[in-house]
Structure formats: C-alpha cells, structure tokens
Amino acid sequence: MADIQVRQAKTEDIPIIESILFDTVSWLNAMAQPLWKAEDVVWAALSKAHIIDDFYLAFIGGIPAGCMAVLDIDPFFWPDVAKGDSLFIHKLAVTKNARKTGAADALIGYAKELGRQREVSSIRLDCHGLRTKLRAFYEKHGFVCVEDKVCKDTYNVPEYYAAFYIYWMNRYPDNDTAD
C-alpha cells in the first residue's frame, strides 16, 4: 500500500477539494451513475452546509488523492442523533488515479481515529443503496447497514435510494479488527 497521509483541510485547500470532488462527478457521470452535479461540488455550494474545518484530505506522495467531510451533526439524514453523539461522513471521494491505492481506507481509518479522540458512540454515513461495491467497502470497514430507504429530492434527483450505515465505536474497543 502507498504511503498515505491524511490531514485536516485549510482554506488554501479549497481548490483541491473541488478538484477531487469534480473528478468523482466526472467519473460517475462517465459510468452513467450520477450522484452529485458539478455545480454542487464547488465551494460556493459546499460552503452552504460545510466549513473548511469539516474537510480532510488524503495525499499519496504529496499528491492529493481523496477527501471527506466529517461533521458532528446531520439534521437532514439523522435528525434524531444529538450533536456530538456521533460523527457523520459526507463527500468521501477519491481521485480516479488514486482508486485502489488505499486512500479511501486511510480516510475511513482517520474518521475512526477522530471518533475515538472525540469519544463519540458511532460514525454514520449514507451512500447510494444500489452501489454494491460501495456498500461492500463500508461493510469491510465494520459499518452496518441499519436502513434502506428512498429519499425524495435528495442530491438534485427525484429519488435517491439510500443505504444508512453505522460504525459502532465500542464494537472493537481495544483493537479495531475491522480496519
């Protein structure tokens, strides 16, 4: 596996975040599996729901490889979860050149470490429910699907079939065997 570093993003990293997310938009569109629109991954749109401190970047040999946003509240998808009880992963993306390098694994591992540091009970995320490889990736990392449902008017599509996952922090208290 490549030498991968993950760090919190800084304001000057906004173009990197946009580039990584746009790369993912282009890749998914090319596969006829759209999720986000290009206009949704520019900072003007992202900053409506995120601040720069929410984002983390993965680098391989100093080259940007992936990103994710980690929040401590998600009133849209998880309205019943109190602020600070859980962390929520959004916008996890890896560039086309960094796929299958371990960059996504490093980002998930980093989110788990943030969860340990912040002493939350769980890490939660949603993903496209019909993407079996994506679901298998999260399950490989110890996430458990707790619900599948159709969300209306989400991600600018009429219906978004979502799978909701939880990683319970106390599942592997001394040795995270899911990594």
Domain region containing 91 = 4-171
Local confidence band at 177 (pLDDT 50, 70, 90 cut-offs): very low
CB 102 within 8 A of CB 1: yes
- Total of domains in the chain: 1
Would 177 be classed as within a structural domain?
Answer: no
Summarised one tens digit per residue, pLDDT across range 66-84 is 999 999 999 988 999 999 9
* Cα–Cα distance, 145 to 140 (Å, whole number): 12
- The CATH number covering residue 39 comes to 3.40.630.30
pLDDT value of residue 77 = 87
Would 100 be classed as within a structural domain?
Answer: yes
CB 103 within 8 A of CB 110: no
Whole-structure pTM over 0.85, yes or no?
Answer: yes
Full DSSP string of 56-87: EEEEETTEEEEEEEEES--TTT-TTSPTTTEE
Q: Smallest Cα–Cα separation from 51: which of 85, 17, 23?
A: 17
Summarised one tens digit per residue, pLDDT across range 13-54 is 999 999 999 999 999 899 888 888 999 999 999 999 999 999
